[in-house]
A and B are shown apart, each in its own frame.
Chain A
Amino acid sequence: MWAENLEETVTKSVVSKIKNSDRRQWLRYGTMSLGILALAPPVGFFVQQFGTTSLCGTFCMRHLVSSSFFTTLAAPTPAMTLFLLWLGITLLFGRWACSHLCPIGGLTEFGSKLVPGRFRIDFARRLDAPLFRFGFLAAYVALPIMGAAAISCSFCNFSSISEGFGSIFVERTRAGLLTGTRLLSLLFFGGFLGVMALDGRGHCHLVCPVGAIDSIVNWAGSRLPFAFRERVRATRCTGCGNCAPSCPAAAITVDQETHKSSIDLVRCYQCRRCEGKCARGAIGITRPVPALKTLRAPQTGEGEPSC
């Protein structure tokens, strides 16, 4: 009898959780899983088409950021194509690729769900994360030119996290993982800045060179009239501030004078958690509204302005 009651209670709880959960997040988890299957070992069905199994070598995007960009531009590799496609998506639709497709961010975000909340660290609010990342990017580009190419391969979150995940399933890849620097890299990026981070994306906020470039493109492209971005519709926003704490990147601030929220597009990686928190539906992925419509908005109720 008690077993039936327990089953009923658990079923009700699960059904109610699914019903009340944000479908955008389920969609995101789905695409993140696809990204992992497509790009990370042990499957990597997309990278296998190019005769490899991981994001190293042919698909090394961090290598492009460091020293070989112009060499690779002359003879495009799959990595270069993927990198340009990634930035193209960001230019048009915002940081969809970082939040929905990146297997590295996806793996640590899923991994962080296993860590109790009280042990997670909110890196985004403790530091000025974008500037820290730009500082990291500057050193990442500068040091190899100065002859210290150490971090390009041996200290790479793309390689260590994806290989670390793959080695759970494939015994023989563990041997390659256990070099001194690779192991430290896995513990630092995958552990400390990964699963121990509040949203599992501490390494995205602080040290990812691809993410740093992506965030610049996100911010710069937001001025284009056809570009979709995560925006706040000013006419709907009441400045209640419910959205700000839900943002894992600390990208939302509420202006105390205008009582309107705004999103910092250099920080935002478009996880869309804030959309589910806004009762008035003020936050969404939209194109910028032309100035004329902005003026008319209060009268017609359509084409609300955004900030």
Chain B
Amino acid sequence: MDAKTKRYLVSGASLIGGFVLVAVVTFVIRPMQKDSAHLMGTLTTKGGVVIHAGEFELGRSLFGWYTVNLTGKAAPPIQGDIHVEFQGPAEINHVVNSRFPPGLPISNRGHPWYQFSDGTLRGVKPGDPVAINLRMQAPEEAGEYKLVLKNAKTQQVYLSMPITFKEAARAAASEEPCH
């Protein structure tokens, strides 16, 4: 085989290899994707707007727990302390975290970042972004759970985000969660 032919073969294999890598990786990781979801919503004084809810199949978690990332904005006039609560028909071990504030907050963005402690966003200003990460153990039975964001003082609900766990057979017929 001469050098030119070899070069063409390597080039062709590389081009196809790149495509195949994505295709293979995509189909290999698809089952794993069923243990995490990106939820979207807006916090409002009228109970919030759910843009994208969460839906999982039971028994499809990779490491025995599920993860959701909820992103959204606190629509004006919402401000103050917002408590994050995970509610459902059964007790599930879970951990709530917030992506904000950043590790090293820069405060020249109009106003300082809010703080996060004890499951509460403290000092939220109107229009602030919210990014909540929730890790939960796989529940034993199907059911509808909720990630609720509410006023820490008045308990007024700003957003109630449904997270549904379905039996595998039922979930197969519906859409898969968005990532």
A residues less than 8 Å from B69 (CB atoms):
176
Report yes or no: B102 in contact with A154, Cβ–Cβ below 8 A: no
B14 at the interface (CB under 8 A from A): yes
B156 at the interface (CB under 8 A from A): no
How big is the A interface, by class?
35 or more
Report yes or no: B97 in contact with A176, Cβ–Cβ below 8 A: yes
B residues 52-94 in Cβ contact with A at 8 Å: 61-63, 67, 69, 71
Nearest CB in chain A to that of B116: its residue: A172
B residues less than 8 Å from A131 (CB atoms):
11-12, 14-15, 18
Report yes or no: B30 in contact with A176, Cβ–Cβ below 8 A: no
B residues less than 8 Å from A155 (CB atoms):
25-26, 29
Interface stretch, picked from B104-112, B145-153, B166-174, is B104-112
B residues less than 8 Å from A170 (CB atoms):
102-103
A211 at the interface (CB under 8 A from B): no
B residues less than 8 Å from A48 (CB atoms):
102, 105-106, 109
Nearest CB in chain B to that of A212: its residue: B18
Report yes or no: A176 in contact with B33, Cβ–Cβ below 8 A: no
A112 at the interface (CB under 8 A from B): no
Interface flags for A229-266 (1: CB within 8 Å of B; 0: not) read 00000000000000000000000000000000000000
Report yes or no: B18 in contact with A43, Cβ–Cβ below 8 A: no
Distance, CA A140 to CA B116, complexed state (A):
36
Given contacts A51-B129, A150-B29, A175-B135, contact A135 B103 (CB under 8 A): no
Interface stretch, picked from A22-30, A177-185, A218-226, A269-277, is A177-185
Report yes or no: B30 in contact with A132, Cβ–Cβ below 8 A: no
Nearest CB in chain A to that of B73: its residue: A51
Given contacts A42-B102, A184-B29, contact A175 B97 (CB under 8 A): yes
Report yes or no: B22 in contact with A134, Cβ–Cβ below 8 A: no
A residues less than 8 Å from B36 (CB atoms):
154, 179-182
Report yes or no: A138 in contact with B102, Cβ–Cβ below 8 A: no
Nearest CB in chain B to that of A137: its residue: B18
Distance, CA A178 to CA B116, complexed state (A):
20
Report yes or no: B103 in contact with A138, Cβ–Cβ below 8 A: no
B residues less than 8 Å from A41 (CB atoms):
102-103
Distance, CA A48 to CA B107, complexed state (A):
9
Report yes or no: A43 in contact with B35, Cβ–Cβ below 8 A: no
B residues less than 8 Å from A140 (CB atoms):
22
Report yes or no: B18 in contact with A134, Cβ–Cβ below 8 A: yes
Report yes or no: A143 in contact with B22, Cβ–Cβ below 8 A: yes
Report yes or no: A180 in contact with B32, Cβ–Cβ below 8 A: yes
A residues less than 8 Å from B63 (CB atoms):
180
A residues less than 8 Å from B67 (CB atoms):
175-176, 178-179
A57 at the interface (CB under 8 A from B): yes
Report yes or no: B22 in contact with A53, Cβ–Cβ below 8 A: no
Report yes or no: B18 in contact with A42, Cβ–Cβ below 8 A: no
B23 at the interface (CB under 8 A from A): yes
Given contacts A127-B10, A176-B67, A181-B33, contact A134 B102 (CB under 8 A): no
Given contacts A57-B71, A179-B35, A184-B32, contact A42 B104 (CB under 8 A): yes
A148 at the interface (CB under 8 A from B): yes
A155 CB to closest chain B CB (Å) equals 6
Give 17 new A-B contacts, CB below 8 A, not counting A128-B11, A175-B97. A43-B102, A43-B106, A48-B102, A53-B103, A131-B14, A132-B14, A132-B15, A132-B17, A135-B15, A135-B21, A139-B23, A150-B179, A154-B33, A169-B104, A178-B135, A179-B67, A181-B33
A-B contact pairs, 14 of them (CB 8 A): A41-B102, A42-B102, A51-B128, A52-B129, A132-B14, A135-B14, A136-B19, A137-B18, A151-B22, A153-B38, A154-B29, A175-B95, A180-B36, A181-B29
Chain B residues within CB distance 8 Å of chain A: 10-23, 25-27, 29-30, 32-33, 35-36, 38, 61-63, 67, 69, 71, 95, 97-106, 108-109, 116, 128-129, 133, 135, 179
